[in-house]
Amino acid sequence: MNLALSRTDFVAATQAEYHMPTRRVPNSLTRVKSFRDGDLLVTPHLPGHGQVSIHVVNGEYPDCYKYVPDDGEHLNHRIRVRASYGLEGNISMRYLVLGPWYAKVSAWRLPIVKIPRFNSLFTRLQQQLSAAPEDSLAPSTLDDFRDDLAEAARELIASRLKELPASHGAFSFEAVCGDVITASGYEIERRNHYADGGDADFVCRRTSGDASPFGERGRLFVQVKRHAGTTGVHAIEQVIKAADGKDADMCVITLADEFNDAAIKLADDNGVVLIAGLEVCQLVLQRLGDRRPQAAHA
């Protein structure tokens, strides 16, 4: 029996032929008529259980569609594709990036389900595998999840820190850095210290013997920069001059992604600790971990 989608009575004829109690399955199949050139078809458990493949539709309906009437496996509806990814078994459904999609798969019982909220996810995977077909997206581990969660948290913190004023007020980037410093075992003795052309936003005294990312001496001079992109030598020069040869640790904290080569060399030559970008966010994240959530009371 010919049950091509072109039949005007396709839904009713398919329901009758297969003795289906409802029309949900044939109605789902009619979604093929909405296929457009370049659409992605995501196929769970193909080529094997626990694997997934991605296929790019070639042409718009009806050009992308072909009906084969005498397929003994009842796979009569064929879709033309111009590229496929994952048919070598190299995409696991348990790959970390696929987590939001994988959590929904077991609830989808129909042959064709529209999943527009996952468009960007599968488009990224398609682009990745197009550029590097040999990539193997293996099942992820709990450590992978933790690392990904921490990275997402650091990126969120970075975006929020960039919205803060550089200094002054109850909350600012400078205030956040001061909080991280005191949480690391220091007391801030002086702010905005100027000496011989030097500048330190914080002059601190060590009050704890615990390990510190800023150094081990009793005093600490800190310069804070809410820069974007790259931080140069000027910040390092400021804190070196502010310390004025005293027996103290020196540190420059910046929200910039990195320090330039000249700044790194000057810091190395003078023992200045450099903390930039995501490392700053990691310190803030650790500080947040020290806070206990407030209880809610009715």
Residue extents of the structural domains in the chain: 10-131, 173-289
E strand map for the chain: 40-44, 52-57, 65-67, 77-79, 81-85, 186-195, 198-206, 219-225, 230-231, 249-254, 258-259, 272-276
Residue 277: the pLDDT is 86
| Predicted pLDDT at 208 | 81
- CATH level 2 (architecture), domain 173-289: 3-Layer(aba) Sandwich (3.40)
Angle between helices 233-243 and 261-270 (to 10 degrees): 20
Q: Are the CB atoms for 219 and 249 separated by under 8 Å?
A: yes
Q: What is the pLDDT, as a whole number, of residue 297?
A: 58
3-state SS class at 205: strand
pLDDT at 211: 76
Kindly list the averaged pLDDT for each block of 10 residues, start to end, along the chain of length 298: 93 96 96 96 95 97 95 93 96 93 90 93 94 90 86 87 81 89 91 85 87 86 90 93 89 92 94 90 85 62
Q: What pLDDT, on the 0 to 100 scale, is given for residue 290?
A: 74
Cβ(12)–Cβ(25) under 8 Å? no
Q: Residue 44: what pLDDT? A: 95
Q: Which amino acid is at 125?
A: L
Question: Model's pTM, two decimal places?
Answer: 0.63
